[in-house]
């Protein structure tokens, strides 16, 4: 499973990445974290607001920092 974090690398983006990792670990998933900071790639992915979380090819979170529990529910 690929967890992609889209954003500038700000504190909110870093928190979303940590929360996504915590959710993946809580569920015992095999995953890889990718951080995308290039604006052109963010736009090409269809992201309009950051931070955003994409799992494989599905945007699960956009424009907010989801908690580990919220992400865990989305992944299960």
Q: For tokens 């095999």, what's the residue?
A: 30
**Residue 19 CB: number of other CB atoms within 10 A?**
21
Please spell the DSSP secondary structure of 25-56, one letter per residue: HHTT---EEEEE--HHHHHHTT--SSSEEEET
Residues serving a catalytic function are 10, 13
């Amino acid at each position: 499973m690929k967890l992609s974090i889209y954003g500038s690398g700000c504190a909110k983006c870093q928190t979303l990445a940590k929360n996504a990792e915590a959710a993946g670990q809580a569920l015992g998933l095999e995953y890889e974290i990718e951080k995308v900071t290039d604006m052109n790639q963010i736009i090409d992915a269809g992201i309009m607001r950051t931070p955003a979380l994409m799992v494989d090819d599905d945007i699960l979170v956009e424009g907010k920092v989801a908690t580990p529990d919220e992400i865990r529910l989305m992944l299960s």
